[in-house]
């Protein structure tokens, strides 16, 4: 095998490894984006919207990640909705 053939093989191997790495990273990123369960009613939809709207502006003294803080806001909204009935 000549020097050119070795270089060509190395370049194609690197390209294949890069493509596999790119596909793996894309799959991992897609796995992190979870789909939400179906909306169960108007109050559920309203509380989801409230959580989305307040997650970056609400006080966060415990340092929760945005997803956990959003869940906390959502559940507090749903509890308030139950008491209003």
Using one digit for the tens of pLDDT, what is the confidence trace for 15-69?
A: 667 665 566 666 555 555 668 899 999 999 999 999 999 999 999 999 999 999 9
Q: What is the pLDDT of residue 77?
A: 97
Residue 55 CB burial class (10 angstroms; 0-12, 13-18, ≥19) = buried
- The answer to whether the predicted template modeling score (pTM) of the entire model surpasses 0.75 is no
More confident position, 38 or 84? 38
């Amino acid at each position: 095998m000549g020097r050119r053939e070795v270089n060509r093989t190395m370049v194609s191997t690197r390209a294949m490894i890069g493509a596999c790495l790119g596909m793996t990273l894309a799959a991992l990123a897609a796995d992190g984006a979870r789909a939400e369960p179906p909306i169960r009613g108007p109050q559920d939809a309203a509380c989801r919207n409230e959580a989305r709207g307040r997650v970056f502006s609400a006080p966060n003294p415990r340092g929760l990640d945005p997803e956990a803080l959003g869940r906390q806001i959502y559940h507090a909204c749903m509890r308030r909705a139950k008491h209003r009935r």
